[in-house]
Structure 1
Amino acid sequence: MGQSRPYRAKALVVEDDPTQREMIGLLLEESEFDVVACESAEAAELVLQGSGDNVVLMMTDVELAGRMTGVELAHAAKKYNPDLDVIVTSGKPLRQRLPDGAMFWAKPWAPLDVIRVAEMKATALSGGSGSR
């Protein structure tokens, strides 16, 4: 059965809207990710400090609870883990530069987009050099 799988990739969802946060989390869980959900960039940064190497995908809104923006979090996250896949999303035009390798998704985006990225990442992890 599928329960004996030794490694599940970890995704970090950073969104101050509880409905959006829950929806993204459910989509990623359906794609075989363990999800850590945070309301603020400050909370997400604590997760990255503690287990940043285990997080392989982060999706963050630009506007968050707290003082730090999602763009600032994206830069911090890439410092903790340069290989981290980062998606920054907003309903407004992006005015700040993202770190190299980060993607920007304008809202509204389709839930299928989240599933596609998650499945591509999961395939890359399982077909790559093995689990960490």
Structure 2
Amino acid sequence: MLQRKDAPLILVVEDEPLVRLDITLAMVDAGFSVIEVPDAEQAIELLETRGSIGLVFTDVELAGELNGFDLARTVKERWPHIPVLVTSGRAAPRADIADSFIPKPYDPNAVISQARALAA
């Protein structure tokens, strides 16, 4: 976890390590605190134990039994106050379960801009 004092806490869920590292570092440079995990199952475990998460940023295609849409649906059902920003290079946006969608490949600045708007 990379944390800055008084910064919104973002949960990044991405199974590709280099992609996860790249967006994590960009978000930290932009002033966010970040927790990163590779799959939806670990994300749910963190959400169950940490009350301070201000945004979930997830890829759709993840390793494990749950995909990013499953995670977004779970967040909306169990933690409706937490916004969800979804990304994918193949899947279509799902406005019914995500607060926002950014297609891959994405510009990290676009993700940061959306994260700021959603986590405000």
TM-score by length of 1: 0.78
Instruction: Quote how far apart the aligned CAs of 1:121 are.
Output: 4.9
Give the aligned partner of residue 114 of structure 2: 117
CA separation of 1:7 and 1:96: change in aligned 2, threshold 3 A: closer
> Structure 1 pair 66/38, CA: closer, same or farther in 2 (3 Å)?
same
Q: What CA distance in whole angstroms lies between the structure 2 residues aligned with 1:18 and 1:35?
A: 15
Measured in 2, the distance between the counterparts of 1:88 and 1:66 equals 17
Matched, 1:17 2:8: no
Q: Which amino acid aligns with 1:31?
A: A
With over 3 angstroms needed to count, the CA separation of the structure-2 counterparts of 1:92 and 1:45, relative to structure 1, is same
Q: Shift of the alpha carbon at 1:120?
A: 3.5
Identity within the alignment, %: 37
Higher helix proportion (structure 1 or 2): 1
Structure-2 separation of matches of 1:55 and 1:39: 17
> How far off its partner does 1:39 sit?
0.4
RMSD (CA atoms): 2.1
For residues 16 and 69 of structure 1, the distance between their equivalents in structure 2, rounded to whole angstroms, comes to: 10
Structure 2 unaligned blocks of 5 or more: none
Contiguous gaps of at least 5 residues in structure 1: 125-132
TM-score normalized by the length of structure 2: 0.85
C-alpha displacement of 1:96: 5.7
Q: Is the 8 A contact 2:102 2:111 kept in 1?
A: no
Match of 2:49 in 1: 50
Contact 1:58–1:85 under 8 Å retained in 2 = yes
- Could you say what secondary structure the match of 2:36 adopts? strand
Residue type of the partner of 1:80? R
Q: Distance in 2 between matches of 1:6 and 1:110?
A: 26
Distance apart, 1:94 and its partner CA: 2.1
Partners of 1:114 and 1:83 in 2: how far apart? 19
**AA matched with 1:108:** P
**Deviation for aligned residue 1:83:** 2.0
